[in-house]
Structure 1
C-alpha cells in the first residue's frame, strides 16, 4: 500500500523563504518592500506573499509604513540593548541544556556546521556564513528540548539578522572570529557550563559588532 506524504502548504513554504531572506541578509535594514514586489521577486502569488508579510510583521521582522509599504526595521541602540539582554539570558542557557544531552554524532554534526562557517569566512561568502552560523546555533539549541526558549531566540535572530549582514559588508568576513571551536571542544569534554560560556562570548562579540555599525 502506498504511503501518502503530506505536502507542505504553499503559504508555509513562502513564509519560510521570506524568513530566510531576512535572516540571511537578502534584505537590508530600512529597505522598503511591497507585496507585489516581493511576490515577483520570489515568483509566487499575492496571497501567500501577503500572508508571509503579515506573519513576519507580527514577529517584528518587518514593519508596516504609512504608505502601505513594508520595510526591514533599522536597528536602534535601545532595541539592540534589549536584544542583548534577552539573548545573553536565553541562549547560553539553551546551550548549557543542550550540551548535557548531546551524543557523539550530534557533536560531529555541529563540528561539520562549524567547518562550513570557517570555510565561508575564508572565502568571504557572506550569505553562506550567515546561514551556517544560524544553522550551528539552532542545531545546538534544538537538543535543549526547550521549545519556549527556542522560540524566543528565533524571534530575536529575525530582528538582528539584517544587521549582521551590514556587519559583514562593512568589516568583511575576515574580521569575524567565532567561539564555536571552544564550544565544540567543551562538548567533547562533557562540560556544559564551558559550552554555555563559549556561546555567551560568541553572542557578546556579535552584538558588539552590531553596536559598532550604530556608532559609526
Structure 2
C-alpha cells in the first residue's frame, strides 16, 4: 500500500510535468527520458514513471515503439478539432465570469495584461507564457465552474507543446496581446458577449501561426499510448 507521502510525491510530480507540458517546456516530437526528468525534479524515477503513465492516459504523451515516451505531434485536423473545442469551452467560461468576477480580480487581470505586454517587448517568451496561463486561469475560474476549468486545462495539454512556436515570427509575436487588451476593455464594461468574442479572437489569432507547424493529415499514423 502506498503511503500518504509517497502518493503526495507522485501527485506533485504529475502536477509539475503537466504544467510543463501546458506551458510548452517540451516540444512536439521530443522524447522524455525518465532518468533525466527525475534529476531535474529532484525525485526518484518511480514518481516520474507514474506521472508519465497518467499523462499518456490523458493523451498528453504517447509511447512509441523503439522511442519511448514522446510528446505527440498534432496533425492539422487534430489541431482544428482542439481549437473548436477550446473556443466553445473557453468562450463559455469567460462569458460566465463577466457577471461574477470581483473588482480585485479584474485589477489582477489588468496587471497580468501589462506584464504580458512587457514580456513581449523584452522578447521574454517564458514570462509571457506564464503570465498568459495565469491570466486565462484567473478569468475562467471566476466562472464558478470547477468542472469547466478542469476540461479546459485538460485540452490545454494537447496544444501546450507547440505554444513556443508562437515566437518563431517576431512580428507576429508582438501582436499576441492585442486580444487580451480588447478583452479587458469589454470586461470592465461587463460585456459578456464582447468578452466571449475577444477570447475567440485570441484563440483563432494564435491558431493561424500554430497550425502551420502541424503535420499534414495524410502523414499521421495513429499511435497506441502504452504505459511507459
Question: What is the TM-score of this pair, normalised by structure 2?
Answer: 0.85
**How many angstroms does 1:57 deviate by?**
1.2
Provide the secondary structure at the position in 2 that maps to 1:48: helix
Residue equivalent to 2:106? 107
What is the distance in 1 between the residues matched to 2:183 and 2:53?
37
Provide the secondary structure at the position in 1 that maps to 2:144: coil
Q: Aligned-pair RMSD on alpha carbons?
A: 1.9
Residue equivalent to 2:151? 152
Provide the secondary structure at the position in 1 that maps to 2:174: helix
**How many angstroms does 1:180 deviate by?**
1.0
**Where do residues 100-179 of structure 1 align in structure 2 (5 Å cutoff)?**
100-168=99-167, 170-172=168-170, 173-179=173-179
Residue equivalent to 1:58? 57
Unaligned runs of 5+ in 2: 217-228
What is the distance in 2 between the residues matched to 1:115 and 1:55?
36
Residues 56 and 62 of structure 2 are in contact (CA less than 8 Å); yes or no, is this contact kept in structure 1? yes
1:73 aligns with 2:78: no
With 63-72 and 77-86 compared, the bigger mean Cα shift is at 63-72
Residue equivalent to 2:198? 198
**How many angstroms does 1:76 deviate by?**
1.0
* 1:89-109 CA-partner distances (Å, limit 9, x unpaired): 111111000111012111001
Question: What is the TM-score of this pair, normalised by structure 1?
Answer: 0.90
**How many angstroms does 1:208 deviate by?**
1.4
Q: Kindly tell me the number of residue pairs found equivalent between the two proteins.
A: 209
**How many angstroms does 1:214 deviate by?**
3.2
**How many angstroms does 1:209 deviate by?**
1.4
Residue equivalent to 1:3? none
Residues 113 and 135 of structure 2 are in contact (CA less than 8 Å); yes or no, is this contact kept in structure 1? yes
* Cα separation, partners in 2 of 1:114 and 1:64, compared to 1, 3 Å: same
1:96 aligns with 2:95: yes
